[in-house]
Amino acid sequence: MTDPLGGRLVFAAGAGLATFLSPCALPLVPGYVGYYVTAAGDDGRAAGVAVRGVAAGVGVLLT
């Protein structure tokens, strides 16, 4: 095993991030956002939507 574990982890993380930009998944993002906005039950207030959007974005970046 000449490949270090760190290199494999970087490759796996990069591949995971690339899946967010795939042409198959990208068109589904507005549907997911619309579903979660209506499921939250706050009548689509911009402040609540923005807070949840930022929290989701930070979560994706940290993960």
**pLDDT tens digits along 12-50:** 888 888 877 777 777 777 777 777 777 766 555 667 777
Q: Using pLDDT thresholds of 50, 70 and 90, give the confidence band for residue 4.
A: confident
Residue 33: give the domain boundaries: 5-62
Q: Are 9 and 16 in contact (CB under 8 A)?
A: no
Q: Which amino acid is at 57?
A: G
Element (H, E) at 37: helix 29-40
What's the total number of domains in the chain?
1
37: exposed, middle or buried (C-beta count within 10 Å: 0-12, 13-18, 19+)?
middle
More confident residue, 3 or 60: 60
Tokens of 22: 């795939």
* Sole residue written with tokens 């209506």: 38
At 20 the pLDDT is 75
